[in-house]
Amino acid sequence: MAKTDTAHLASRFRVTDRHFRIKDVDPGDTRGLELKERADALLQQGIKRLQDLQEKLYAQDRWSLLLVFQALDAAGKDSTIKHVMSGVNPQGCVVTSFKQPTAEELDHDFLWRCSKRLPERGYIGIFNRSYYEEVLVVRVHPELLAKQRLPDKPVTKNIWHDRFRHIRHFEDYLVSQGTVVRKFFLHVSKEEQRRRFMERLDHPDKNWKFSTADVLERQLFGDYMDAYEEMIRETATTAAPWYVVPADNKWFTRLVVAAVVIDALESIKPSFPKLDEDKMRELASARKALEAERSGKSKTSNKHK
């Protein structure tokens, strides 16, 4: 995957302002069918580049990268993360999957549980779902908001816009502290989602992935699309952009996500640390000691001959 290909794929699906319309993104888009024949090779090239960039990010220990994944069920979040990050050193990457909030988490502000899992410097942090659930599923299911036991004052008709504002400020703060933020919405069509649900039902080894709740949520597909559209409009910024990635073709989804991650890391130009004079003298001293040790062993060996 050449640098120009990476930049093109990354920019094509980038959203940074409030003019976004979800209907303008085709979930089946592949930007040219000829790519499919080269998809595996391109992805492997991307993984290799990502591996090199991550090693430098970890060694430099100055920046961190936060990748946020949001999508409807069966859009391919898990498999995308698995394939794109397959070459990354696990020591420098942490994946957190956020499920239904616990009682303890509900007793805190809506950003609290995600704040605890932010990546430290040198690390890539991946959120499989995130604080954005608080303006998606909680908005589509208002009864969930009642379970948060909030005081009456903040629960007004403006609560969603208030949360959008809090999220923008939160991400601005992260960026100002050296965390690069990239957010992905994997956009799957309703028909492709149905096909994947059927596949889970038809194959015994995939039955475990299926939940009857998936069918119930599917009835709210349009409500979710409306919620996603406004969420992306209100929280897409130049510093923390959204990428609305077509997800009907998994091979293409993975290519786009890999391109965005590579582009994000290249934007900060990570490099191996340059050692100061004191450290260089330490290394020279260590080299002499090791060479002397080897020389001593050689002399001892000669005496026994």
C-alpha neighbours within 13 Å on the C-beta side of residue 100: 5
CB of 129 closer than 8 Å to CB of 95:
no
pLDDT tens-place string over residues 115-135: 999 999 999 999 999 999 999
Q: Looking at residue 293, what is its pLDDT?
A: 87
In tens, the pLDDT along 40-77 reads 888 999 999 999 999 999 999 999 999 999 999 999 99
pLDDT in tens, 150-176: 999 999 999 999 999 999 999 999 999
The two structure tokens encoding residue 183: 């957010």
* Distance between CA atoms of residues 303 and 86, nearest Å: 52
Position 6 scores a pLDDT of: 63
Classify the C-alpha dihedral 182-52-64-71 as positive or negative.
positive
Domain 3-274 has CATH 3.90.1170.50: no
- What pTM was estimated for this model as a whole? 0.91
Q: Give me the residue spans of the domains in the chain.
A: 3-274, 277-305
What's residue 17's pLDDT? 86
pLDDT score for 295: 72
Q: What would the mean pLDDT of 196-222 be, rounded to a whole number?
A: 92
Looking at residue 297, its pLDDT comes to 63
Confidence at residue 299, expressed as pLDDT on a 0 to 100 scale: 57
The set of residues, in sequence order, having a beta carbon less than 8 Å from that of 215 and lying 6+ positions away, is 197
Other beta carbons less than 10 A from residue 133's beta carbon: 18
d(C-alpha 222, C-alpha 96), whole Å: 28
> What is the reported pLDDT for 279?
87
**Residue 296 confidence (pLDDT) above 70:** no
